[in-house]
Amino acid sequence: MLWLALHFPLLPLEALTRGEDGARPLALEVARRLRLVNATAREAGVRADMSINAALALAPDLRVLARREADEERALHGLATWALQFSPQISLVEGEGMLLEIGASLRLFGGLDALLDTIRAGVPTLGFSVRDAVAPTPAAAWMGAWLGVPLRIDSSDRLTAALAGLDVSALRLSAKQESRLRGMGLHRLGQLLRLPRAGLARRIGTDALDHLDRALGRKADPRPGWQPPAVFESTLDLPVEVEGGAPLRFALHRLVLELAGFLRGADAGAGVLDLHFHHRELAATPLTLRLLTPGRDVEHLEGLITTRLERTRLPAPVLAVTLRCDDVRSFETRAGDLFGLRRGPDELMPALIERLRARLGDGQVHGLRAVADHRPERAWHGVDGKQGGEGRSRRPLWLLVEARPVDTRRLRRLAGPERIETGWWDGDPIARDYFVAQTRDGRRLWIYQARTGSGPDAGNWYLHGLFA
């Protein structure tokens, strides 16, 4: 087995600031002193353990936040949901990070380096800082990630030598125990390992010794597996109330990235997306997107949401956004050509229809299906956009709601007549001769002449349809 440890050193702070881009100096305070600061604050000279007044003197625009453990738990579970795409075997280290068993994933992602590059690029886009380490045991991997030492140990034979150089703080001893060891000149795990085991147990305790044994693979280290949710739901708080624009799109981008990771991990696609834009005093504004085919492409989903949002009136500024997907469907991938350049119409059409629906509304876009009736106005009906008639028709697809009189003297007839005489049995009879005609500027029209004896309009010419 091979374990990847992901430690999120700023999780308590970043769990509160996922809705912003980190350009502003931010800090987390506990008991009137700063505990964590972001990179922008560090650039201004602000450091952890400073008093708030001292920090504000260095960075007057510093935003100081109070810790919310519920947000940390929610953020960590969101990260685990996203990480499902890399491994189905995940174990959480509450409040700090997670462990992933990646031995079976290396080939899928092109090797360890490619997998780590993907994760390192992905975590910051979700709004979090990360440290990683890899080792054959979960305890060893976590030691490296927690210390910020990028361990890359792929063999149990190398564990002892690799861990020997780690600082004794990796054992997470009490301050009194760690101080006693350092007072004796013991700063590295390798120095401890050279001591007699009985003496080592007296100095660091049996619990710490067991922890060291698990890191070295000498004792079993079963880890409780994290169970992913059956449906996806994530809420992101915004730093300030916004009416739309870039801040809202930024928040939506992070939510869609998290959803895409969940869907890849489940080997599934989204059928329906439900969004709620929360306001301070009013009920949340809902927005629902229905996809014709299950999808998980970030750019496509984000484009649909943004397009629909442009048509949605928000009655008040937004202070949080919730994205939910409980319609999770199996996702079918297709083998393409050698270079993946060709895409068939059956792949392109659903995406086009979804974009049109997002812009125009679900009720404004539908397919057409033929009906067994010779009367043109009754020969079709609208169906769901994914459905539709097959084959080609020599009739125009654009019929006028009502045929209108037309002067045929400037038209050139290309084809016809097509005689249609039917409907006598249901009280709506027609008797017409249809022609394909062309105007002087090249447009093709579908016209008909009412036949003699078919009513007061007998002999008159009418325009009934337009060809593309």
Where would I find the H helices in 28-105? Answer: 39-43, 52-58, 69-83
Residue spans in the chain of domains classed CATH 3.30.70.270: 3-16+68-159
Phi–psi pair at 418, nearest 5 degrees: -115, 105
Residue spans in the chain of domains classed CATH 3.30.1490.100: 235-334+341-350
Superfamily, domain 235-334+341-350: DNA polymerase, Y-family, little finger domain (3.30.1490.100)
For residues 91 and 26, the answer to whether their CB atoms sit within 8 Å is no
Q: What pLDDT, on the 0 to 100 scale, is given for residue 31?
A: 83
For residue 165, give every residue at least 6 positions away whose Cβ sits within 8 Å of its Cβ, in sequence order, or none.
Answer: 188, 189, 190
Secondary structure class of 87 (helix, strand, coil): coil
Mean pLDDT by 10 residues, the chain (468 residues): 95 90 87 90 92 92 92 94 94 95 92 95 94 96 95 90 92 88 90 87 85 92 91 90 87 93 90 93 92 86 88 90 90 52 54 67 68 74 58 72 87 88 80 90 89 70 88
What's the token pair of residue 468? 């593309």
For residues 151 and 7, the answer to whether their CB atoms sit within 8 Å is no
Query: Rounded distance, CA 304 to CA 170, Å?
Result: 47
Query: Rounded distance, CA 327 to CA 268, Å?
Result: 10
Q: What pLDDT, on the 0 to 100 scale, is given for residue 349?
A: 62
Query: Rounded distance, CA 205 to CA 187, Å?
Result: 17
* CATH 1.10.10.10 holds for 3-16+68-159: no
Q: What pLDDT, on the 0 to 100 scale, is given for residue 12?
A: 94
Q: What pLDDT, on the 0 to 100 scale, is given for residue 391?
A: 47
Q: What pLDDT, on the 0 to 100 scale, is given for residue 338?
A: 42
